[in-house]
Homo-oligomer: A and B are copies of this chain.
Amino acid sequence: MERHLDQDLEDLKKLLLKMGILVEAAVFEATEALKELNSKRANAVVSGDKAIDEWENTVDEKCLDLLALQQPMAGDLRFITMSMKISTDLERMADLAVDIAQRVIELSDKPLLKPLIDIPKLTKLAQQMSKNALDAFVNRDADLAGRAILLDREADRLRNLVQKELIEEYMSKDPSTVSRAVPLLLIARHLERICDHATNIAEDVIYMVQAKVVRHHPEQLK
């Protein structure tokens, strides 16, 4: 029985990991599409989302089966319930990749505002936080998860910077930039929300590994 559960938990971990890789790829492709203003690449992100949606259902189904059939305890129970939460966050990260891709499609028939301000920095941060959160999950690494969470403030800062600059330096000075600046402003928000979901995942990893609730309790990170 014990062994059977171990194998099932390993299978669940692999499911989430595959889903995570797809989501990371969606975020990467959406941000590359932005760099190139490539609507074909952006469209591929949009049409790939259905597959990721299915993954959320697959993970949840597996979790419910395990809860019903194996009656797991303690750490195993935390692993399964946190997996359900993580699948939700991953799916929403993929939705945000789609949101970014849709903004790219809107922008692709217009000349891009140069420069992209701090959006490339925010992009890198979103990619890094997503990667750290997933790696922390795979390796049950609460320290790495903690470091991912601490980056979230920088994401907020960069988002605010981008927004301020777009409003003050572009839109308020030259109304002809508005239709190009608004999608960029939204992209900055989408990226920052990807960071929020990475933070949620990292918090769930810490709970999973240490049974310590850091969600809404950042002081617990110290």
Contact = CB atoms under 8 A, between A and B. Distances in A.
A67 interface: yes
Contact of A57 (B64, B175, B215): B215
Interface in A64-112: 64, 67-68, 71, 73-74, 77-78, 81, 84-85, 88
Interface string A169-204: 001111110110010011001000000000000000
Contacts of A73: 68
A221 interface: no
Classify the secondary structure of A's interface with B: helix
Contact of A63 (B50, B81, B182): B81
Interface string A34-55: 0000000000000000100110
Interface residues of A, number: 35
B215 A56 contact: yes
Nearest to A175: B175
Given A68-B73, A68-B74, A185-B182, A172 B172 contact: no
A73 B69 CA distance: 9
